[in-house]
Structure 1
């Protein structure tokens, strides 16, 4: 077997859902290439469906069942070590490959045989409700299809990514990162180590359904916030963080700290007014964001945008406080990794709008109610 013209396809899975796995295992394979599938079940108690057992027996896949739940990073490490091909394609177990996926990647490899890796496109469906509209407008899924718009990037979600085995940080995925963000950390480390970005392959497309059929993603977004806080404290990523204005959760946390003083010295009403103005200003600002970005005027979408941002910020703040560190407070990571030590206290039109709304609301409160 030529290691150069070979690909290990690593699919971490907890569910072993045949409806997704069958299209992945049955993908058309380009001529002249050796393709091997490694299905890693990250669930020691999983029941192996008969179809998967047959694939294993026929040699179509190699099935590995983790003896304990290792999380996405540890599971991908198992898949990396299981194979030996020069190229490793990571695919999530809830994506559907579009025709020509492997052909698109092999064409890219032939064109750039020494590349650090390639990023495909993971497409979500059209929005189906206020939650999914909000996820799009907020940019929560923006990195999944970024290969459509950028020629290269420092990292991408590992739902659809091809990596060069010889250009990976030997430490692989950090198994201590359990909330999320392990893919950002690993790909950024490798990119910095080899001073190279991953090339986009916009023709390599998979389809991803809406999580839980478009239901509110409170737990996922809280976990994403915690993962963002974890990786922002890592030295190679911390260089790309900057001080910023306090977000809603940080303001509310400060108000909570000041509450005993407010009760003691009689300014608790002012604290309440500030806290309320934060919420109302966020909703008003998100009404405008929805109109500017998607040309929809919807209170429901504005509330969902507010909820998405609040839950993410809560996860970020909770992770920082749980780690007994102040490094995550009023500090954000520039995940575009444009340059080290980015300028602090960045403004954009939405931050300015929110400040204006807060100022107006507090002025009205002190004029008419204080």
Structure 2
């Protein structure tokens, strides 16, 4: 029995050290493999070594005439091929020699699955900031194949989907061009189309991803992803629910209250500003306890970075809603695990419990000054 796999690689940088090893992967004997390299940067000039591999038989290269964004670029790769399976790989991963054999074996032996979630590893953290990224929990989706036998979606850096299961589902262009949310949306909709069957975990199909931004401090990525993720409950309402306000939302409400209070009681402005600072302190305390439970003792700088990463992402979520004028979506969340549940205040954990014990205490202390 033989199968066919289309490998879709969207790229902006087209770096040889990553692209060449992918294109040079040897196809297994039991699979017909084709590579679709789609470059979303018209200013890029492929190196001679990459050009030499493009034969329009096994390796195909397409360069967008203008920057189209992550969704359109992946869709172009999807439409170019006709393989039974579509393997999505990022353009900045290190691949093992047996990657294609692992996926082909899974496709042949488990043809009833709608797709397979590969494992994405990272090198040991080289800075306090990358340690914070790992401690924040934002990396969990990259290693979800180690923790769950199946899941509702996976990172597009390393995941394979059956084309027949995908059907007409494509990456939505409603999401920001720079990425964020469109990958969750795509896999959630493929899953929904197949009676909510989860993607099977395949941790043996492992790749290594480098740390972003050369290990340096950068909050732009989580902020950008937050803006993209703010579209998820809007475009997928069956997975939406409401929760208690997060810290940026709480600060926004507190700022509005401060404006009103400062007009009615100008002398209370200082107390309100202290209260807003108290909200940040409570966030730091709740974050610290959560990280301690997850990773054990870490230094204060790591805790600070974890808090800032959360604030950047949640701030992006809030900014996305407000930019669209959708103030009523404040407090709205998305079930990333694919659960359909409309219950308000859906879940509780140590992080939330600490915040909502300390918030009333903070409010009482402010009230005493009036």
- Shift of the 342–214 alpha-carbon distance from structure 1 to 2, 3 Å rule, reads farther
Equivalent residue number for residue 241 of structure 1: 240
Equivalent residue number for residue 254 of structure 2: 255
1:41 counterpart = 2:42: no
Equivalent residue number for residue 187 of structure 1: 187
- The Cα of 1:59 is off from its aligned counterpart by 5.1
Q: 1:106 aligns with which of 83, 100, 104?
A: 104
- The Cα of 1:219 is off from its aligned counterpart by 1.0
Equivalent residue number for residue 168 of structure 2: 170
What is the alpha-carbon distance in structure 2 between the residues aligned to residue 80 and residue 60 of structure 1? Answer: 15
1:303 counterpart = 2:285: no
- The Cα of 1:98 is off from its aligned counterpart by 2.3
The secondary structure found in structure 1 opposite 2:220 is helix
- Shift of the 169–273 alpha-carbon distance from structure 1 to 2, 3 Å rule, reads farther
The secondary structure found in structure 2 opposite 1:107 is helix
What is the alpha-carbon distance in structure 2 between the residues aligned to residue 254 and residue 8 of structure 1? Answer: 49
Query: Mapping of 1:1-370 within 5 angstroms?
Result: 5-57=3-55, 60-178=58-176, 179-195=179-195, 196-234=197-235, 237-266=236-265, 267-344=268-345, 346-359=347-360
Unmatched runs of 5 consecutive residues or more in structure 2 = none
What is the alpha-carbon distance in structure 1 between the residues aligned to residue 125 and residue 192 of structure 2? Answer: 35
The secondary structure found in structure 2 opposite 1:204 is strand
What is the alpha-carbon distance in structure 2 between the residues aligned to residue 362 and residue 325 of structure 1? Answer: 27
- Shift of the 47–107 alpha-carbon distance from structure 1 to 2, 3 Å rule, reads same
- The Cα of 1:361 is off from its aligned counterpart by 5.4
Q: Does structure 1 conserve the Cα–Cα contact (< 8 Å) formed by 2:88 and 2:159? A: yes
Q: Does structure 2 conserve the Cα–Cα contact (< 8 Å) formed by 1:277 and 1:362? A: no
- Shift of the 322–251 alpha-carbon distance from structure 1 to 2, 3 Å rule, reads same
Query: TM-score when scaled to structure 2?
Result: 0.93
- The Cα of 1:326 is off from its aligned counterpart by 2.8
- The Cα of 1:97 is off from its aligned counterpart by 1.1
- The Cα of 1:316 is off from its aligned counterpart by 0.4
- Shift of the 254–186 alpha-carbon distance from structure 1 to 2, 3 Å rule, reads same
What is the alpha-carbon distance in structure 2 between the residues aligned to residue 112 and residue 346 of structure 1? Answer: 35
- Shift of the 133–360 alpha-carbon distance from structure 1 to 2, 3 Å rule, reads farther
The secondary structure found in structure 2 opposite 1:62 is strand
What is the alpha-carbon distance in structure 2 between the residues aligned to residue 176 and residue 300 of structure 1? Answer: 37
- The Cα of 1:224 is off from its aligned counterpart by 0.9
What is the alpha-carbon distance in structure 1 between the residues aligned to residue 251 and residue 163 of structure 2? Answer: 46
What is the alpha-carbon distance in structure 2 between the residues aligned to residue 72 and residue 201 of structure 1? Answer: 24
- Shift of the 268–70 alpha-carbon distance from structure 1 to 2, 3 Å rule, reads same
- The Cα of 1:362 is off from its aligned counterpart by 5.9
C-alpha RMSD over aligned residues: 2.0
Equivalent residues, number = 365
What is the alpha-carbon distance in structure 2 between the residues aligned to residue 13 and residue 35 of structure 1? Answer: 19
- Shift of the 227–253 alpha-carbon distance from structure 1 to 2, 3 Å rule, reads same
The secondary structure found in structure 1 opposite 2:258 is helix
Q: Does structure 2 conserve the Cα–Cα contact (< 8 Å) formed by 1:240 and 1:342? A: no
What is the alpha-carbon distance in structure 2 between the residues aligned to residue 343 and residue 320 of structure 1? Answer: 19
Q: Deviations over 1:75-125 (max 9, x none)?
A: 111001111111111100011112421111111111211321111111122
